[in-house]
Amino acid sequence: MTFRWYGDTDPVKLEYIRQIPGLYGIVSAIYDIPVGEVWPLDKLQALRARIEGAGLKFEVVESVPTHEDIKLGKPTRDRLIANFQQNIRHCAAVGVKVICYNFMPVFDWTRTEMAKELPDGSFTLAFDARAVAKIDPEKGIALPGWDASYKPEQLKSLLAEYKAVNEETLWTNLEYFLKAIIPVAEGVGIKMAMHPDDPPRPIFGLPRIVKNREDLQRLVNIVDSTANGLTLCSGSLGADLCNNVEALVREFGSQGRIHFGHLRNVKVEPDGTFYESTHRSCDGSLDMAAIVKAYHDIGFEGYVRPDHGRMIWGETGKPGYGLYDRALGAVYLNGLWEAISKYSPPAH
């Protein structure tokens, strides 16, 4: 069980995180280096020392960002891929075992509300498919996360570049990227763990290629190596009710391709509108007990974390990344694991 932490600027204190029962390590990254550039080794060493000084392990990086020029297949990609390769080497040098990353065009997640109020008075992240369908990208996009990362003209220019990129083009660019980085990861003992699209559907005409079972299988087939694996995010994939997350865990976990599990629940409507619920099975559309049991049955020994959480008990800070509800999620998930382990031996 791990917990995401954004460094010493994170309002959630590392010393509080270590008090969560059953916690093994911290998931973090270097956040002050521009996307596409090399992370200095001394920064990674300092991050490891800070985490280990709090009595926790630092074995998972989330994320090493993939530059848009790589996804677009631009001539600059070779230099950027070389930098990505060097980041893999530097991560391995400080003891990192798994790197989470993604290949989502422009942004790695989309929400329409950062603080949807639930009946119990808590606040959560939400996605309104109807609201997104009404947005004309040509007139600008004003959604949480989008307008914070790009100035309007930058976003407009980037969206224009993606008009020439369809799903097959993006797959071709991903294949070029994977064939360059996976041998490096193999050589230094790192397992690459691709995060699926969030939400798992095309948005604003942007192609999405990691959204269902067929996509996951195509991804791992590109380079037939256990170093080419997955971050199996239950909340991202579960936002499409056609995805059976339990079955995906059993299938790809049995192949040894799941290296990192994001465990969260979502309450989903048939049109794809959803909000992030508590981790409990009864509060969302996913059977978290069945998903955890699937991990247990395949003998999973990798890393997991409670993904997002509600903002509860008056906590403020980065939406989805407060301390309290994620801590409750970690304890709930560990409780499920303990009960399943005690009363249900592994299926294999």
Residues annotated as part of the active site: 195, 233, 262, 307-308, 321
70 vs 91: CA distance, rounded Å: 20
**Cα torsion through 234, 92, 69, 148, rounded to 10:** 60
For residue 281, give the amino acid letter. Answer: S
- Rounded to 10°, the helix 77-93/167-188 angle is 30
Dihedrals phi, psi of 228, to nearest 5 degrees: -100, 90
H or E stretch at 124: strand 123-127
Dihedrals phi, psi of 278, to nearest 5 degrees: -65, 170
DSSP secondary structure string for all residues of 280-341: SGGGSSS-HHHHHHHHHHTT--SEEEE----B-TT--SSTT--SHHHHHHHHHHHHHHHHHH
H or E stretch at 80: helix 77-93
Dmax (CA) for the chain in angstroms is: 58
In this structure, are residues 299 and 341 in contact, taking their beta carbons and an 8 Å threshold? Answer: no
- Residue from 89, 4, 94 nearest 43 by CA: 94
- Spell 3-17 as b/e; 16+ CB within 10 A means b: bbbebeebebebeeb
* CB-based contacts of 316, cutoff 8 Å, min separation 6: 11, 322
Token digits of residue 11: 């309002």
In this structure, are residues 274 and 239 in contact, taking their beta carbons and an 8 Å threshold? Answer: yes
261 vs 102: CA distance, rounded Å: 14
